[in-house]
């Protein structure tokens, strides 16, 4: 049984698709990048024994020709940062968006939990509107601006690795945060990062804006 089918069978209440499915088109696109050096570099990034780790800027990744080409083709030559989010997470917890694309690639495979901007009403997202997309190994994708996403979910017991490319400065700390502000200002959590979290999440405990209702989705392994 393939990984996606096993995950679908284990999670009947979550709509799960492949990034090659037409359902992915509003959220992003698969990029025509097949580069052994890129995949080898992603494979060398460490997966923690528990939880997730995020490194915004990794010089070894940023020096790769494939990453520089993505900077030219996806970001139009704007300054970018390339890092990784690796771990063993399997819970929704929160959704964020950026006003730039995000490029992801994995050598382990993983699941992205995504939602569209139009799924958010009065700064609130119902988790039933979140869809899961299986990203197979060595398949770079562009997630479009404003599409809601967060840390990936592992698709196997071995955890996941995930390349993360963004415009430089994204996810850097802000001078001040005000989650009581009106409108979109109250969602701004880091530079170029607007965040809605579930009330049961670690992010809520840190003071992030609570804007996800419904079940805090958990991805079960097949």
Task: List the CATH number of the domain containing 48.
Answer: 2.60.120.10
Q: What is the pLDDT of residue 174?
A: 97
Residue 203 domain flag: no
Residue 7 domain flag: no
**Per-residue burial over 15-54, b = 16 or more CB atoms within 10 Å of its CB, e = otherwise:** ebbbbeeeebeebbeebebebeebbebbeebebeeeebee
Residue 165 domain flag: yes
Q: What is the pLDDT of residue 100?
A: 98
Q: What is the pLDDT of residue 222?
A: 78
Show pLDDT as tens, one digit a residue, over the chain (222 residues): 599 999 999 999 999 999 999 999 999 999 999 999 999 999 999 999 999 999 999 999 999 999 999 999 999 999 999 999 999 999 999 999 999 999 999 999 999 999 999 999 999 999 999 999 999 999 999 999 999 999 999 999 999 999 999 999 999 999 999 999 999 999 999 999 999 999 999 999 999 999 999 999 999 997
Q: What is the pLDDT of residue 101?
A: 98
Confirm if 96 and 189 have CB atoms less than 8 A apart.
yes
Q: What is the pLDDT of residue 138?
A: 98
Q: What is the pLDDT of residue 48?
A: 97
| Token pair in block for residue 175 | 């001078």
Residue 209 domain flag: no
Residue 49 domain flag: yes
Q: What is the pLDDT of residue 18?
A: 98
Residue 6 domain flag: no
What is the pTM assigned to this prediction? Answer: 0.96
Show the domain range for 84: 14-169
Residue 197 domain flag: no
**Per-residue burial over 101-117, b = 16 or more CB atoms within 10 Å of its CB, e = otherwise:** bbbbbbbbbbbbbbbbe
Residue 45 domain flag: yes
> How many domains does the chain contain in total?
1
By C-alpha distance, which of 125, 142, 121 is closest to 195? 125
């Amino acid at each position: 049984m393939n990984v996606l089918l096993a995950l679908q069978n284990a999670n009947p209440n979550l709509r799960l698709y492949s990034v090659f499915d037409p359902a992915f088109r509003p959220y992003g696109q698969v990029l025509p990048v097949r580069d052994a050096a890129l995949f080898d570099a992603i494979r060398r990034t460490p997966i923690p024994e528990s939880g997730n780790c995020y490194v915004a800027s990794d010089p070894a990744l940023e020096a790769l020709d494939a990453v520089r080409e993505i900077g030219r083709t996806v970001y139009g030559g704007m300054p970018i940062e390339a890092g990784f989010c690796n771990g063993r997470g399997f819970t929704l917890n929160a959704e964020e968006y950026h006003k730039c694309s995000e490029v992801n690639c994995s050598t382990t495979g993983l699941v992205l939990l995504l939602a569209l901007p139009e799924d958010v009403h009065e700064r609130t997202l119902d988790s039933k509107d979140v869809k899961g997309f299986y990203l197979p190994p060595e398949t770079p994708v562009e997630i479009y601006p404003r599409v809601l996403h967060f840390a990936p979910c592992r698709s196997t017991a071995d955890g996941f690795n995930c390349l993360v490319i963004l415009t430089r400065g994204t996810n850097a700390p802000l001078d001040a945060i005000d989650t009581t502000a009106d409108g979109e200002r109250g969602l701004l959590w880091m530079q170029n990062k607007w965040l809605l979290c579930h009330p049961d999440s670690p992010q809520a405990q840190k003071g992030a804006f609570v804007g996800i209702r419904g079940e805090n989705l958990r991805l079960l392994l097949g």
